[in-house]
Amino acid sequence: MNSLVILISGRGSNMQALLEAGIPKDRITVISNNPEAEGIGFAKKCNVETIILDHRSYPDREIFDRALAEKIDACQPKLIALAGFMRILSDSFVQRYQGRLMNIHPSLLPAFPGLKTHARALQEGIKIHGCTVHFVTPRLDHGPIVIQAAIPVLPHDTEASLAARVLLQEHRIYPQAVQWFMEDRIRLDGNRVEVMACVTHDAAVYSPGLSE
């Protein structure tokens, strides 16, 4: 079935970007492990089917993941998109959906996997930061990369200002990656992703800018 399952835990701003991307709402299901997730309310307002599966009701991660997989399989999704899903998934779950499980990460992977990416970027003094859409593999934040967006780190950036500007790019590239997948334009070959019929530019990005 040409449908999409979105997994969230909180406000779901990337979920909102996906819901506004033009995919028919009757082909989308939003699942949250958090009964109080703000994103659930937004999904309901969009008339999208929602499911709540509280992870605290399960004795361990493996049992929760099996229950989650049952809910997902009932939807017969073409793709499962993680959109702020704050649970580390078991290897067996990830392998079950290999090549159909996508995530958005707030750094230019493989740099800064894990949490607190913006604070770490500022601490390291890097000049270019960004976000990455990638396929999920058992190794955290190291799956095949679909698309990335880069922004300059400005001299007076704070963690909050940098995060806000990166989030704008997340909202641009995640719907694009999902659209490519749903249109069968993504070919996965080992750790490399090819997007078919996609224009690639060779322009460089500089930060700070070069002197004229």
List active site positions: 105
Q: At 26, is the secondary structure helix, strand, or coil?
A: helix
Q: How many CA atoms lie within 13 A of 30 on its CB side?
A: 32
Helices 159-182 & 117-124, crossing angle to 10 degrees? Answer: 120
Rounded-to-integer distance, Cα 21 and Cα 175, Å: 6
List beta partners, residue 189.
192
Token digits for 21? 């991307």
Six-digit token string for 97: 């959906």
